[in-house]
Structure 1
């Protein structure tokens, strides 16, 4: 029995990996672009070129503000595709990041079985997120495919914690933070998914030391200065920021100026606020949320996206991925929130720039999604995560296609 289930898991993993690779190549080929890859504070091109060329010292000196995680993952693909042209760097650097996302979503669909009712609706939601919603396109085209890799690592860490793999969950969470520091807001969700949070913390610390230790040892002062700038704020708000419609515009520049405190510590305030929201929801569940931790992850990431003083469109991508993962895991065959979010994303993107009605609609939709998720989580009993192995299979609960703890 155990061998048959292992074969089944292996077959599903293979299908998800190969299908995800095919989708990733198509998406990256269609949407990849240099964007911020070759300039600005998140310039990852020098680090990618150094690591792809085997110059480890130069790599650790040139690690971008977002961290070394995604660069390490992307470098082998970049080495194959070439580093001379920025366009090739963008294309081959995007493939592993999008591959992680596509493979994860396909695995979540396959994990519930293809013979059940509603599977085509789940697949439609996955395709809509990858092709209809504009967030992934903006991330890949803007030179930031690591957004997809980061949220894939976050969702994976929750699933591993749920399957009683706390050390691996912690290490993968550390990888997520090393890809993008904003991933730290998901710590509460990862800790609430399993029953051994201290093991998760231990794995996370180990992963972070492994990835950030060499960077600090080689160029501590330079990276500290970069981190201080990245953790700060900006003097004005724009985009999908929650502050945007609340502030008067400067008569000379037209920009919506922020209060001094927010301007100086905006990103830190956002992280603290999103973490506080997560703690309040988790406390209501006595910090035992099981699969509901994916919904909690969607909430905190959406709060982070709408509160950032100067967000990009793709900042919403991680929340949309977690929302779909939660629906595929907890509400199979009914991913209506995810489908609605993808359609709304396309509609807002096609409205004229500066259309306040469309912008306000997106604000309201984001806030409504947070409220709906919070209510849905409050009405669902996820209970204590199971640690015992199944008497029939000998495998930990949550590691086979059909959840054994239902």
Structure 2
């Protein structure tokens, strides 16, 4: 009974922390242009207009809807409504941190280690500015991907499928999580995929039917990158500085080939990576819990390969990485903390002091080695001294801790 009270108190604290983080900034970023018109239509009861005007990540509004309606009814205003949605997304991250803490407790981790993992998970969306830039759904989707892997490790394939399907509907990049989730599952993979596909279709279909251009326009929006080319990515050297003849505005763009194929290429990397991991898993060079490392690797690789990479793209990778470190390492989750800290410096500090070319160089100096080292660890090709000898037991020993 005491433990249940302690767990309930911890969740209340995490939820309160999520609320504080959500309301720590009133910046709305892309929300005003991309999502606010659709949300306003929904709040006015025009569901058809909401479905038609929602961007590709429109389904991510659905779990936020009760919070949005409550804030609107309370007269919170445009910013208050948005922040209520941010809180809803961070509440999913808080739930993830709560579940992970129970697992760490079952493994006998020191209180300092448990606290560090929880803090790394909870602070990543705030430090990497998901809410301030208008995309709190990035953090929610990343949390759902990690939850799907954890559920698969426990043999809860239905829950794993539900979480994976919702994640893909919310953000197409979550397709990268499919391989790690399947590798984490000991059995029931077909049922898992059926649930994931079913949930994704149910959430996405209304938007496809109402959106101008339907499924075709949605597929094109997911596949192609806009005419924006940021310095913090692998292909920056291919950029071209251009000036608009009509407005005189200047900017950078990449080759047409990259604009057309960058996103499909990123998703495609998950296929050989998953096959290689499955082979290593069969050879017992890695364990099922290392699917979290595979997930972190693929999501971090996505960041460095995406021409439109921005600060919050690393959040899902940090969540998976922090959890994997907590479950398989005895010490602090220094890898996740390092990625968060360096990401903040690269995107928030460096632009104030460095040119675009130097921003790209300093970012790649640490990001490329981070991706390589994480890949080596994910595939069992390099193990640090603090690696537990029997990480395969982690999933089994923590199955009861998630309840």
TM-score normalised by structure 2 residue count: 0.83
Deviations 1:27-78 (A, max 9, x none): 0110242211121xxx22233334444443333333321131x201111101
Q: Cα 1:13–1:164, aligned 2, differ >3 Å: closer, same or farther?
A: farther
Residue aligning to 2:340: 342
Q: Which shifted more, 188-197 or 29-38?
A: 29-38
Distance 2:201 2:146 in 1: 21
Q: Distance in 1 between matches of 2:372 and 2:156?
A: 31
C-alpha separation in 1, matches of 2:29 and 2:309: 15
Residue aligned with 1:81, SS:
helix
1:103 aligns with 2:95: yes
Name the counterpart of 2:254: 258
TM-fit CA distance, 1:24 = 0.9
Unaligned stretches of 5+ residues in structure 1: 387-395
User: Alignment partner for residue 143 of structure 1, among 127, 131, 134?
Assistant: 134
Aligned to 1:20: 14
- SS, match of residue 164 in structure 1: coil
For structure 2, the residue ranges without an aligned partner over 5 or more in a row are 245-249, 384-389
Measure, in 2, the Cα distance between the counterparts of 1:16 and 1:296: 29
Residue 387 (structure 2) aligns with? none
Corresponding position of 2:183: 192
Figure out how many residues of one structure are paired with residues of the other and give that number. Answer: 382
Q: 1:290 aligns with which of 288, 291, 294?
A: 288
CA distance in 2, matches of 1:258, 1:400: 50
Q: How does 1:284-363 map to 2 (within 5 A)?
A: 284-286=280-282, 289-348=287-346, 349-351=348-350, 352-355=352-355, 356-357=357-358, 359-363=360-364
- In structure 2, the CA distance between the partners of 1:382 and 1:202, relative to structure 1 (3 Å rule), is farther
Give a deviation string over 1:270-290, Cα, whole Å, max 9, x none: 221344334333333239842
* Aligned match of 1:118: 110
Show the counterpart of 1:67.
58
2:374 paired with 1:373: yes
1:400 maps to 400
Distance 1:123 1:169, change over 3 A: same
| Counterpart mapping for 1:166-315 below 5 A | 166-195=157-186, 196-219=188-211, 221-222=213-214, 224-235=216-227, 237-244=229-236, 246-247=237-238, 249-250=240-241, 257-286=253-282, 289-315=287-313
| Shift in CA distance, 235/57, structure 1 to aligned 2, threshold 3 Å | closer
Residue 77 in structure 1 maps to residue 67 in structure 2: yes
Cα displacement (A) at 1:365? 2.2
Q: Which residue of structure 2 lines up, in the alignment, with residue 389 of structure 1?
A: none
For residue 240 of structure 1, give the secondary structure of its aligned residue in structure 2: coil
In the alignment, the residues of structure 2 paired with residue 274 and residue 31 of structure 1 have an alpha-carbon distance, to the nearest angstrom, of: 35
**C-alpha distance after superposition, 1:282-318 (max 9, x if no partner):** 3332398421111110000011111011122111111
Q: Distance in 1 between matches of 2:253 and 2:54?
A: 31
Which shows bigger deviation, 116-125 or 316-325? 116-125
**Alpha-carbon shift at residue 192 of structure 1 (Å):** 0.4
Task: Answer yes or no: is the 8 Å Cα contact 1:240–1:359 preserved in 2.
Answer: yes
Structure 1 118/145 Cα, relative in aligned 2: closer, same or farther at 3 Å? same
Cα distance in structure 2, aligned partners of 1:382 and 1:60:
45
The CA deviation string for residues 3-29 of structure 1, in whole angstroms up to 9 with x for no partner, is: x7xx85x55653443122101110011
Describe the shift of the 1:335–1:250 C-alpha distance in structure 2 as closer, same or farther (beyond 3 A): same
Report if the CA contact (8 A) 1:234-1:264 is conserved. no
Q: Are the aligned partners of 2:103 and 2:402 in contact in 1 as well (CA < 8 Å)?
A: yes
Q: Which moved more, 1:153-162 or 1:118-127?
A: 118-127
Q: Which residue of the partner structure matches residue 390 of structure 1?
A: none
Given the alignment of the two structures, is residue 47 of structure 1 paired with residue 45 of structure 2, yes or no? Answer: no
TM-score normalised by the chain length of structure 1: 0.83
Give the RMSD, CA atoms, in angstroms: 3.1
